[in-house]
Structure 1
Amino acid sequence: MSIPAFADISKSANDLLNKDFYHLSAGTIEVKSNTPNNVAFKVTGKSSHEKATGGAIEGKYADKSLGNDATTPNEQTNTTVARKRRPAQFSLSLSRIRVPGPTAFPLEFASHVNQHGLGLLILYRRAGLTLTQTWNTTNALDTKVELADSLAKGLKAETIFSFLPATQKKGVKLNLTFKQSAFHGRAFFDLLKGPTANVDAVIGHEGFLAGASAGYDVQKAAVTGYNAAVGYLSPQYSAAVTATDNLSVFAASYYHKVNSQVEAGAKATWNSKSGNNVGLEVASKYRLDPVSFAKAKINDRGVAAVSYNVLLRPGVTLGLGASFDTQKLDQATHKVGASFTFES
């Protein structure tokens, strides 16, 4: 198995404990569609329990001739997942133009929706190189250049330039990712703010993992934070122990795929700064049949959650969820949510 990034050492247990529980929103609707020229659109709308609503629109172009993207069926969720090249979030791809010439780049124009409003995104791509330019309604200009597997096998370099003309504020960030069969390292540099650096690395051998991360502020000449983790990863089960927040918050997690139908996991957390109490959360997933599954979890505070996911028909998925505070059954602390996903 490939070596995960430091943040993903306990991913299997975290996904089981946190994903596919639909009570977090009162209602969610998601519409996905794919065009014949490999453009995928996704529209999402959510209504919170506080009556607030929000939405997003996303578009992705997959140039399969360059091998930048592939989609494969996900047997557990009855949906498709994008691999290798991640789409720009909250963007809508409008068109693609190839500039003539021997060094031409595929060119995409897109509208970009974020918390500041609607902006413009221009994306140039060729094998190993991605150039993304963004302009939003706050008049912020961002340019991101990505270079993958060109300088060295397994090395990805990403540079992000930002500029606010109104305040003349500038920003430059450099991110590096290096991945080999037994190593996964990342480095994030903010070159103008501080400068600051955050690095993490994971080494692995026959399923055993060990990793650490640290932050450093050059101007203050001080370490801003450090974390560590160890774990074991296999297709059937995984376990991890992490120490975060300067080794003051400890978490132990366990995930077990019992068989093709049953998954189970648990996580215990202890904050050494806040006392001796240990937080515990246990979850399980049961696949009822090839098109539906149910999940349940409960924590040490007595809050329980259940969810049900079913493929009603090809392209239509329904999710139902609820949470209950078992210590306050007579109070209005319970939550119910529903999710609809339409895919073509």
Structure 2
Amino acid sequence: MSNSPPTYGDLGKPARDVFDKGYDFPKVKLSLKTKTESGVEFDTSGSHDLEKSRTTGQLKTKLKFPDYGVTFSESWSTAAEIDSELVYEPSAVAGLKLTLGSALVPTSGFRQARLKAGYRRDYVSLDGDVDLRVNGPIFRGSAVFMYNGWYAGYQMAYNTSNTKLEANNVAGGYQGSDFTVHGSLMNAADCTTSVHHKVSDKTEVGLLTTYNWQTSNVSLGLAGKYVMDDGAVMKTKVNNQGQIGVSYAQDLRSGVKLTLSGMLEGRNVQAGGHKFGLALDFES
């Protein structure tokens, strides 16, 4: 739905993307996306953590049946986890999305099923899901309402195994044509505010602040993104801890993208602790 608001998890996303996307440190990543003539999609990825000296990988497959509004996907990881998901979007009910998912780890015996439902209409976005676990289900729900750019949202999660409200979050803000102002409060403790401004088709800037009411810890960050004439993307960010991040992404050829990123500990350059990341993406 073109006039429906974002889901709760996507509120404030424009600013987060300026801060997070393209920064892969401290990992070296490789991904390959392909699609067969019959429409089956394959997404293979692997990464090596330079700090933990740990290598992980994952294979995802996706098959779509657009005539029936059905999508089936499955993934396998080096952590021996197998995830499956079946999505149904009935054409008779615009904006409705139903999902049945499962997770299985044969080595540990962990297994879980999840039922999800989402509904998008003008001015409203609703989501609900339940994790069916052996020790008791977990219920989650969220709602976002938007009118003339102003929005408000609520998100909750309740764990029946320990009768605990694990998430009790609220958010609000304004989304304009070229800027977004967002604020949220998580579990009455973490307060986050962000501003995103799309200065032009090539330039974006973001501001992000967080404050914890219990510890009084404050963080402040400023980030920018610039698209060069040749299509390369240059990003940089800095925070009040003196950490400076830089990212550079370039299409080497059609379907091949290289991303280099790093973080400099600006307060103590000689002490080390700097981080480096590299990502190479293939798509055909």
1:105 corresponds to: none
Residues 1:211 and 2:167 aligned together: no
The gaps in structure 2 that reach 5 residues or longer are: none
Q: Summarize deviations over 1:4-46 as a string: whole Å, max 9, x none.
A: 1111111111111111113231x22222233322233232221
Partner of 1:32: helix, strand, or coil?
strand
Q: Which amino acid aligns with 2:178?
A: Q
Q: CA offset at residue 327 of structure 1? A: 0.8
2:118 corresponds to: 177
Residues 1:268 and 2:209 aligned together: yes
Residues 1:115 and 2:91 aligned together: no
Between the two proteins, the alignment pairs up a number of residues equal to: 280
Residue of 243, 252, 269 corresponding to 2:193? 252
TM-score normalised to structure 2 length: 0.85
1:284 corresponds to: 224
RMSD: 3.0
The gaps in structure 1 that reach 5 residues or longer are: 69-84, 91-111, 122-131, 133-143
Q: Which amino acid aligns with 2:32?
A: V
Following superposition of structure 1 onto structure 2, how do residues 1-344 of structure 1 map, counting pairs within 5 Å?
1-25=3-27, 27-50=28-51, 51-64=53-66, 88=73, 90=75, 112-113=76-77, 115-116=79-80, 146-149=87-90, 152-160=93-101, 173-190=114-131, 193-217=135-159, 223-244=165-186, 246-275=187-216, 277-344=217-284
Q: Which amino acid aligns with 1:299?
A: N
Q: Which amino acid aligns with 1:2?
A: S
**Against the structure 1 CA distance between its residues 278 and 237, is the aligned structure 2 distance closer, same or farther, given a 3 Å change threshold?**
same
CA contact (8 A) 1:30 1:342 kept: yes
CA contact (8 A) 2:56 2:78 kept: no
**Against the structure 1 CA distance between its residues 304 and 237, is the aligned structure 2 distance closer, same or farther, given a 3 Å change threshold?**
same
Partner of 1:330: helix, strand, or coil?
helix
CA contact (8 A) 2:236 2:244 kept: yes
Partner of 1:289: helix, strand, or coil?
coil
Q: Which amino acid aligns with 2:8?
A: F
CA contact (8 A) 2:86 2:101 kept: yes
**Against the structure 1 CA distance between its residues 151 and 221, is the aligned structure 2 distance closer, same or farther, given a 3 Å change threshold?**
farther
CA contact (8 A) 1:296 1:305 kept: yes
Identical-residue share of aligned pairs (%) = 26
CA contact (8 A) 1:30 1:45 kept: yes
**Against the structure 1 CA distance between its residues 176 and 114, is the aligned structure 2 distance closer, same or farther, given a 3 Å change threshold?**
farther
Q: Which amino acid aligns with 1:280?
A: L
CA contact (8 A) 1:252 1:269 kept: yes
Whole-Å separation in 2 of the counterparts to 1:22 and 1:168? 32
Whole-Å separation in 1 of the counterparts to 2:69 and 2:128? 26
Whole-Å separation in 2 of the counterparts to 1:21 and 1:286? 15
CA contact (8 A) 1:38 1:63 kept: no
TM-score normalised to structure 1 length: 0.72
Structure number, greater radius of gyration: 1
**Against the structure 1 CA distance between its residues 67 and 328, is the aligned structure 2 distance closer, same or farther, given a 3 Å change threshold?**
same
CA contact (8 A) 1:200 1:214 kept: yes
Whole-Å separation in 1 of the counterparts to 2:262 and 2:117? 41
Q: CA offset at residue 306 of structure 1? A: 0.3
Q: CA offset at residue 220 of structure 1? A: 6.5
